[in-house]
């Protein structure tokens, strides 16, 4: 479970990953409010309407909803997603140090996703 300040950190990150069973929320909203830094941080990634919904209701959202609204970038097996990001964005000399099974698993999942879209 990702709550309060942890959500703020996710919103401030350049890249944010979540496992499928993760949930996000601001339960302190039910007790009367949030610090301004939280709303400011969320607005970096999330629309004003979604920020308002999250910080006024105190409801939790699942990982897919967090991805849909922009709070997280990727939902999946974190190790595979990290391997995929490294494979996609790192220079070859850095990529060579990756653990081969993780690379193969990330590549296979990426191919399966492309086939299912096409």
Section 24-36 average pLDDT: 79
pLDDT tens string 32-67: 766 678 888 899 999 999 998 988 888 899 999 999
Question: 3-state SS of 96-108?
Answer: CCCCHHHHHHHHH
Domains detected in the chain: 2-75 (3.90.226.10), 78-117 (no CATH)
> What pTM did the predictor assign?
0.69
For residue 97, pLDDT over 60 is answered with: no
Three-class SS of residue 24? strand
Please give the pLDDT value at position 110: 77
Token pair of 37 as six digits: 């830094």
Supply the DSSP symbol for 19: -
Report pLDDT for 20: 94
């Amino acid at each position: 479970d990702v709550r309060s300040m942890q959500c703020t950190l996710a919103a401030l990150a350049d890249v944010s990953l979540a496992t499928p069973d993760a949930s996000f929320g601001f339960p302190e909203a039910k007790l009367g409010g949030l610090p301004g830094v939280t709303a400011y941080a969320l607005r970096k990634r999330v629309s004003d309407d979604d920020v308002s919904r999250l910080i006024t209701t105190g409801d939790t959202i699942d990982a897919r909803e967090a991805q849909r609204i922009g709070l997280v970038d990727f939902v999946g097996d974190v190790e595979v997603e990290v391997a995929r990001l490294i494979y996609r964005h790192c220079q070859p000399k850095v990529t060579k140090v990756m653990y081969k099974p993780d690379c193969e698993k990330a590549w296979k999942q990426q191919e399966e996703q492309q086939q299912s879209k096409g």
